[in-house]
Chains A and B, each alone.
Chain A
Amino acid sequence: MQGNVACAEGALAAGCSFFGGYPITPSTEVAEHMAQRLPRKGGTFIQMEDEIASIAAVIGAAWTGARAMTATSGPGFSLMMENIGFAVMTETPCVIVNIQRGGPSTGQPTMSAQADMMQCRFGSHGDYSIIALSPASVQEMYELTAAAFNLADRFRVPVFLMADEIIGHMRERIEIPDSVPKVERKLLKQGVLPFHPDDDLVPGFPQFGKGYGVHVTGLTHDERGYPCATNPRVHEQLVRRLVEKVEGKRHEIADYRVTNPDAELVFITYGSPARTVEQVVHDNPGKEIGHLRFRTVWPFSENALREFPNARAFLVPEQNLGQMAREIERHTSVPVIRLPRFGGALHTPGELVAALEGLK
């Protein structure tokens, strides 16, 4: 099965009932597959006029209680940024898939990249936090898309599936489970203000059509949902909560894989470069090469780095100039070696072995 098709199938398994999107290489197969499958399952597929409208439709659908998603790539992702901020501010659970291609601008439509990792974290204006996952196989395209809906519903944030062209377009063997775990969206309790948070800092969801009259606004709002855009205290409280509800749970949200924790030389990966490192570790049996593979990229859990107490270098192969390497550097005194590879090609095992040799 193709990675993009597995993404669509994972969404369907998770109960996604709305897809609003605009086709763009290399993500188109997600929309194509949803267009075929979703209506037959009683869901709604809409091809919108552009990506701005697509994410707007997704936000609207989410407020009716639907599990809603869209899929895009770089140029479409840039167009979505304004409304992604709106989804953050209105605490709208939704899933946004980005099958990354080469940028800036229209760049390399058919070639792989991982250069939107910072845009996904910081691309809309204002202080906020989001969750992003990064699959390294067709199997994970399925699993992590399904998991993204649970995280979106639990934290009421946009959740990003930050895949790359290689994983999106690759076809390989996949095992489809009978069912996927499902977290129900927490609904607003009667008598509680619509934006009053519970102890987990997440307010219950006042679903449209269930009897609530709720004002949903991108303006700074109080717990009633009414605009309150000039009160510094209300703004600070809201923004701090939007960040803290995610960052405060970063070690719990963290999802990573550790290989050879006693190693001194440790590769850190997410997405397709993980496959090259897995090959290198496989071809060099022993415990000398460590591998830390992030399945959750944002929020960044610095505890993951402590899984390798003997590390004397972190090597970070990425299909960009070192976006996550920079984040890793912020959290460690261990030297971080950037191994950028871009233009669309994947690091070869030989290149990574050469990087190791240089450190021995």
Chain B
Amino acid sequence: MRHEVRFSGFGGQGIILSAVILGRAAVMYDGTYAVQTQVYGPEARGGASMSAVIIDDSPILYPKVTDPDILVIMSQEGFEKYGVEVRDDALMILDSSLVHTRPRCRYLEIPATREAKMTLGRDIVANIIMLGALVRATGIVKESSLERAILDSVPKGTEDLNIRAMKRGIELATEGRVQ
């Protein structure tokens, strides 16, 4: 089964890291194929950032995502740039604390940045909340694979915080309703 996932937001939110973690979960722990690419600007923080992952059972030839069936949108600018022209049967998981418009396709609201700040005390883990929600809503990789890939990818000393963020994302997706 082939899935094309696109993440977008602004530089500093961990948009590229999210895609790396998802790809790592697929390749290293689910044993499938994945290719991860990105588009970002020269700014270190604040500019629009986009990353993408293709996950497939067979080797991936064309490496870029052209028509994503899953989107994770974490900023209004990211929505306007990458979230407007999407296919009707796509699923968009959006950070409802930062994205104010809603797409034509199916969507799931996850207030990740607010939750990260309020519940976990660090808005830096909003992207991990989104990843937890993504995996619960789509089953694109196993939740245990995601957990291992997160542990491989985050700085030492932040493992507990990040796993709590993932679990909070899973809870929010379970409680939430696809619209």
Residues of A whose CB lies within 8 Å of any CB of B are 25, 109-111, 166, 169-173, 272, 275-276, 278-279, 282, 344, 346, 348-349
Taking the nearest CB of chain B, how far is it from the CB of A283, in angstroms? Answer: 9
Stretch at the interface among B37-45, B75-83, B131-139, B141-149: B37-45
Minimal Cβ-Cβ distance residue in A for B16:
A169
By Cβ-Cβ distance, the 5 closest A-B pairs, closest first, are A279-B62, A171-B36, A279-B61, A278-B61, A172-B35
Residues of B within 8 A of A278 (CB): 61-62
Minimal Cβ-Cβ distance residue in B for A350:
B66
Residues of A within 8 A of B41 (CB): 110
Given A25-B42, A344-B39; A173-B61 close (CB under 8 Å): no
Q: Does B63 contact A (CB under 8 A)?
A: yes
Q: Does B84 contact A (CB under 8 A)?
A: no
Contact in complex: B61, A282 (CB < 8 Å): yes
Starting from the known contacts A166-B37, A278-B61, A279-B62, 5 additional A-B residue pairs (CB-CB under 8 Å) come to A171-B35, A172-B35, A173-B27, A346-B62, A349-B62
Residues of A within 8 A of B40 (CB): 110
Q: Does B178 contact A (CB under 8 A)?
A: no
Q: Does B23 contact A (CB under 8 A)?
A: yes
Using an 8 Å CB-CB cutoff, how does the interface string of B16-29 with A read, 1 for contact, 0 for none? 00001001000100
Can you list 12 A-B contacts (CB < 8 A)?
A: A109-B42, A110-B39, A166-B37, A166-B63, A172-B34, A172-B36, A173-B27, A275-B63, A278-B61, A344-B39, A348-B64, A348-B66
Contact in complex: B37, A170 (CB < 8 Å): yes
Chain B binding site: helix, strand, loop or mixed by DSSP? mixed
Contact in complex: B63, A170 (CB < 8 Å): yes
Minimal Cβ-Cβ distance residue in A for B23:
A171
Number of cross-chain contacts by CB at 8 Å: 50
Q: Does B60 contact A (CB under 8 A)?
A: yes
Residues of A within 8 A of B62 (CB): 275-276, 278-279, 346, 348-349
Residues of B whose CB lies within 8 Å of any CB of A are 20, 23, 27, 33-42, 60-64, 66
Q: Please tell me which one of the listed residues A111, A172, A282 contacts residue B63 in the complex, with CB atoms under 8 A apart.
A: A172
Residues of B within 8 A of A169 (CB): 37-38
CA distance A344 to B42 in the complex (A): 13
CA distance A147 to B134 in the complex (A): 41
Given A109-B42, A275-B63, A279-B62; A173-B33 close (CB under 8 Å): yes
CA distance A275 to B54 in the complex (A): 14
Contact in complex: A172, B61 (CB < 8 Å): no
Residues of A within 8 A of B64 (CB): 166, 346, 348
Residues of A within 8 A of B33 (CB): 172-173
Minimal Cβ-Cβ distance residue in B for A346:
B64
Q: Please tell me which one of the listed residues B20, B27, B36, B61 contacts residue A275 in the complex, with CB atoms under 8 A apart.
A: B61
Residues of B within 8 A of A272 (CB): 63
Residues of A within 8 A of B27 (CB): 172-173
Residues of B within 8 A of A346 (CB): 62-64
Residues of B within 8 A of A349 (CB): 62
Taking the nearest CB of chain B, how far is it from the CB of A124, in angstroms? Answer: 28
CA distance A116 to B51 in the complex (A): 26
Minimal Cβ-Cβ distance residue in B for A174:
B27
Taking the nearest CB of chain A, how far is it from the CB of B141, in angstroms? Answer: 14
Minimal Cβ-Cβ distance residue in B for A106:
B42
Minimal Cβ-Cβ distance residue in A for B35:
A172
Given A170-B36, A172-B34, A172-B36; A110-B61 close (CB under 8 Å): no
Residues of B within 8 A of A166 (CB): 37, 63-64
CA distance A41 to B63 in the complex (A): 33
Taking the nearest CB of chain B, how far is it from the CB of A113, in angstroms? Answer: 14
Contact in complex: A170, B35 (CB < 8 Å): yes
Taking the nearest CB of chain A, how far is it from the CB of B15, in angstroms? Answer: 13
